[in-house]
Amino acid sequence: MGWRRSTVTGEPASVFGFEGAPSDTAVFPWRVGDDALGGPSDEPIPTRAVVVRPWGADVGLLVVRVVLGLTALLGGARALFDLPRGHGAADAVAALVAGYGFAPVSPLVTAYGWAQLVAGVLVGLGVFASFAGAALLAIGVVALGVSLPAAWAAMAVGPVEGPLFGLVLAAVVVLVGPGRLSGDADRAWFRAQTPVGVTCTIIGVGTGLTVLLAFR
């Protein structure tokens, strides 16, 4: 703090620049230009409300991520390595892909398996979760697309329940983000969740539609 003593006869001495005001001036280094009686810098500064997400939302996102990631991980292991139980599961996945009219079958099954496996691990850990979720979103779009005709023919929701479930969970992770209980917490892309989420959604839906239209 700076201060100076009054030099005018009869005025009280200034102590830290207050008692002699307005002849005296208090100098505050952090309020350059203000005087002891106040100045333009004393005007109220506009503020805005900051919305803080409750921790319950982050716990909910953690549950969504773990369920979605584990489901995808098991699906990828089944398609690639016939795990966890074997019994010809990998061949069954290839037959299912061929039955829906996709070709070439082997490269598509391999791409599907690795996408499920890698994306499942990343989503479960919350690392690059929105980007990994875009891969699962694409798979959900494809699964829903091939299931809708059967559901429409039977006038039942049974054929689309599983694909719709996976699609919605993937969309939540992509758009909302992984939450603070994740490996992405406080990263640059975590703080820019809205543009990242919208971009990943466009990529995921576009990839799924491309597979449906180009490989079937």
pLDDT in tens, 93-138: 899 999 999 999 999 999 999 999 999 999 999 999 999 999 999 9
86-103: pLDDT as tens digits: 667 888 889 999 999 999
Q: What is the rounded CA–CA span in Å between residue 87 and residue 156?
A: 30
| Residue partners of 2: CB distance under 8 A and separation at least 6 | 17, 26, 27, 28, 29
List per-residue pLDDT tens for the chain, 216 residues long. Answer: 444 444 445 544 444 444 444 444 444 444 444 444 555 555 666 676 666 778 889 999 999 999 999 999 999 999 998 887 766 788 888 999 999 999 999 999 999 999 999 999 999 999 999 999 999 999 999 999 999 988 888 888 878 888 999 999 999 999 999 999 999 988 888 889 999 999 999 999 999 999 999 998
- Residue 2 has phi, psi (to 5 degrees) of -115, 155
